[in-house]
Amino acid sequence: MDLSRLEKLDDECWRIPARGAMRVPGVLYASEMLLRDMDDKVAEQVMNVATLPGIVRASYAMPDAHWGYGFPIGGVAAFDPDQDGVVSAGGVGFDISCGVRTLTTGLRREDLADAAPALAESLFLRIPAGLGSTGRLRLRAREMDAMLSGGARWAVEQGYGEHGDLERIEERGCMAGADPDAVSERARTRQRDEMGTLGSGNHYLEVQEVVDVYDSRIADIFGVRGGDIVVSIHCGSRGLGHQIGTEYLKRMVVEAPRHGIRLPDRELACAPLNSSLGKAYLGAMRAAINCALANRQILTHLARQAFHDVLPGAELRLLYDVSHNTCKAEMHRVDGVERRLYVHRKGATRAFGPGHPDLPEVFRNVGQPVLIGGSMGTCSYILAGSADSESRAFASACHGAGRAMSRHQAARRWNGREVVDELARRGVLIRAGSSRGVAEEAPGAYKDVSEVVEVAQRAGLAVRVARLQPLICIKG
Report, as residue numbers or ranges, the catalytic residues.
Answer: 399
Q: What angle do CA 175, 289, 140 make, to 5 degrees?
A: 100
Q: End-to-end CA distance of the chain, in Å? A: 32
User: What are the beta bridge partners of residue 373?
Assistant: 400
432 contacts 423 by C-beta, under 8 angstroms: no
327 contacts 394 by C-beta, under 8 angstroms: no
Phi, psi (5° rounding) for residue 379?
Answer: -75, 160
Q: How far apart are CA 460 and CA 320, in angstroms?
A: 21
343 contacts 332 by C-beta, under 8 angstroms: yes
Long-range contacts, 263-269 (Cβ 8 Å, 24+): 264/21, 264/48, 264/51, 265/45, 265/48, 265/70, 267/69, 267/70, 267/90, 268/48, 268/49, 268/52, 268/70, 268/71, 268/88, 268/90, 268/91, 269/70, 269/88, 269/89, 269/90
Rg over CA atoms, the chain: 21
Q: Indicate the pairing of strand 55-66 with strand 26-29.
A: parallel
